[in-house]
Amino acid sequence: MTSVMPANDLDARLDHLIQPDRVHGSLYTDPALFAEELRKIWATTWVFVGHESEVPEPNDYVRKKLATQDVIMTRDRDGEVHLLFNRCAHRGLQLCGDAKGNSSSFRCPYHGWTYRNTGELLGFPYSKGYGGKDRLAGLRMESVPRVASYQGFVFGSLAAEGPTLEEHLGAAAGEIDRLVGLSPQGKVRLDAGWLAHRTQANWKLLLENETDGYHPQFVHGSIFSVTGSPIGALYSDASTAVTRVLGNGHTENDLRPEFRRAGEPMRWFGTPAERLPRYVAAMREAYGEDAQRRLVEGAPHVMIFPNLFIAEIQVFNIQPVAVGECVQYSTAVQFEGGEEINRRMLSQSIGSVGPAGMLLADDTEMYERNQRGAELLSPEWLDLRRGVGREEVDANGFTVGAATDETGMRGFWRHYKSMMGVS
């Protein structure tokens, strides 16, 4: 049993623990708070689950996680995508043991109950024992209450009611559009396979880090120097890039000002356009005059609350496991019609976030040391003041800070507080 704090107590505590310019270390270490987060955030909001391209054919399925829940993403024979809890309606067995496959039905290994890939109960052995076939009407593999997709990104919500996916995504939808707009066919695939990185840290430390523009120069100094990457300079004090709060807990590092200044196609990718002639030509063919802007500005760097992180050419999915543990899944973006760049995105992803990659391993070291530090008693607070005095509101009404400011974290915590029910 998890303990649930009395609501009023929690309100008062959170109001004290989350302040505009600092947050308390216990927010990352308190198991009772983690249980509350599962209830108030992960069981209510839209959570990224996977991509339609992972189940391209009728009857394809793939096992996924939705927060702590084991779900199966299926495509039925009519092409519709479903999210089913991986649980037998008989005695609750985990039904499907395979990571992925193609099947129109699932058969429970325990007593042989069989379900269609839409969840419907098809049959069960020895029906006389139930007084006939109809007695089990209503039993099925349960579906995740709400499923919706945007540009092929599939989200699930464990709550039957609430804002629509479009309302939840808000301005972040435009960032997904930006990514998709780098495919000559206006489509991405996330079918290159996912790597799972188990991390001994609270999920919020990962979220905060994803758009922290203060750390790259230090944590990622080694990969920047080895690869001669211009990325480090984007996160310097002299950078014209900005950190933006997009609302609903979404945050981004908008690097476009720096890329526009350089005005070079593919600079964001770190490979000269001449090395990608077929991709660049396909983009110009598809988008005409607008292709230049797309190729110069590049892909987004956006953290979509609570678990979808698009880091230019990789997509991450953060899954909470326990108060001090999560799994971060990563995959390389693949552009429909972009075979030439796809190969490079795959090898770059292996080099940066693969098992021996030079980028994510360094971040993970920071997450885990951050967690270990937060467990110590003193000083009690994590400071969030960076850039408070130089934030501005942009033409669209979004709060923006300098490239290295903690503007995104403050925006995240404002949304977190409202989701946890603290006014």
Residue 91 binds which entry of ligand FES, Fe ion, none, CB below 5-8 Å type-dependent: ligand FES
Report the nearest approach of ligand FES to the CB of residue 134 (Å): 18
Report the nearest approach of ligand FES to the CB of residue 71 (Å): 17
- The stretch near ligand FES (CB under 6 A) out of 111-119, 232-240, 315-323, 325-333 is 111-119
**Residue-by-residue DSSP string for 352-394:** HHSTT-SSHHHHHHHHHHHHHHHTS-SS-EEE--TTGGG-EE-
Helices (H) and strands (E) in the chain, counts: 14, 24
The answer to whether residue 113 forms part of the interface with ligand FES (CB under 6 A) is yes
To 5 degrees, how large is the angle CA 274–CA 276–CA 282?
A: 115
**Peptide bond connecting 300 to the previous residue in cis, omega within 30 degrees of 0:** no
Backbone angles phi, psi at 359, to 5 degrees: -105, -60
Residue 381 binds which entry of Fe ion, ligand FES, none, CB below 5-8 Å type-dependent: none
Q: Which is nearer to ligand FES, 139 or 388 (CB)?
A: 139
What span, in angstroms and rounded, lies between the C-alpha atoms of 29 and 323? 6
- Are the C-beta atoms of 4 and 414 separated by less than 8 Å? no
Residue 187 binds which entry of Fe ion, ligand FES, none, CB below 5-8 Å type-dependent: none
What span, in angstroms and rounded, lies between the C-alpha atoms of 395 and 397? 6
Report the nearest approach of ligand FES to the CB of residue 115 (Å): 9
Question: Environment class of residue 26 by beta-carbon count within 10 Å: exposed (0-12), middle (13-18) or buried (19+)?
Answer: middle
What span, in angstroms and rounded, lies between the C-alpha atoms of 420 and 275? 49
Q: Which is nearer to ligand FES, 91 or 275 (CB)?
A: 91
Residue 88 binds which entry of ligand FES, Fe ion, none, CB below 5-8 Å type-dependent: ligand FES
Residues 65-104 that bind ligand FES (CB under 6 A): 88, 90-91, 93
Report the nearest approach of ligand FES to the CB of residue 112 (Å): 6
What span, in angstroms and rounded, lies between the C-alpha atoms of 312 and 309? 9
Residue 363 binds which entry of ligand FES, Fe ion, none, CB below 5-8 Å type-dependent: Fe ion
The answer to whether residue 42 forms part of the interface with ligand FES (CB under 6 A) is no
Q: What letter does residue 144 receive in the DSSP assignment?
A: P
What span, in angstroms and rounded, lies between the C-alpha atoms of 300 and 174? 10
Q: Which is nearer to ligand FES, 115 or 153 (CB)?
A: 115
Q: Which is nearer to Fe ion, 52 or 258 (CB)?
A: 258
Report the nearest approach of ligand FES to the CB of residue 105 (Å): 13
What span, in angstroms and rounded, lies between the C-alpha atoms of 148 and 83? 10
Q: Which is nearer to ligand FES, 61 or 153 (CB)?
A: 61
Q: Which is nearer to ligand FES, 110 or 381 (CB)?
A: 110
Provide CB contacts within 8 A for 328, sequence distance 6+.
196, 197, 199, 206, 316, 317, 318, 319, 360, 364
The answer to whether residue 120 forms part of the interface with ligand FES (CB under 6 A) is no
- The stretch near ligand FES (CB under 6 A) out of 109-117, 145-153, 192-200, 253-261 is 109-117
The answer to whether residue 381 forms part of the interface with ligand FES (CB under 6 A) is no
Q: Which of 111, 135, 278, 390 binds ligand FES (CB under 6 A)?
A: 111
One character per residue 156-185, x = contact with ligand FES (rule: CB under 6 A): ------------------------------
Report the nearest approach of ligand FES to the CB of residue 97 (Å): 12
Report the nearest approach of ligand FES to the CB of residue 330 (Å): 33
Report the nearest approach of ligand FES to the CB of residue 124 (Å): 7
Residue 113 binds which entry of Fe ion, ligand FES, none, CB below 5-8 Å type-dependent: ligand FES
Site for Fe ion, rule CB under 5 A: 363
Backbone angles phi, psi at 207, to 5 degrees: -55, -45
Q: What letter does residue 314 receive in the DSSP assignment?
A: E
Residue 111 binds which entry of ligand FES, Fe ion, none, CB below 5-8 Å type-dependent: ligand FES
Backbone angles phi, psi at 308, to 5 degrees: -105, 115
Provide CB contacts within 8 A for 387, sequence distance 6+.
243, 401, 402, 404, 405, 406, 407
C-alpha separations of 175 from 12, 130, 171, 181, 250 in Å: 36, 53, 7, 10, 10
Q: Which is nearer to Fe ion, 312 or 363 (CB)?
A: 363
Interface residues toward ligand FES, by CB under 6 A = 88, 90-91, 93, 108, 110-113
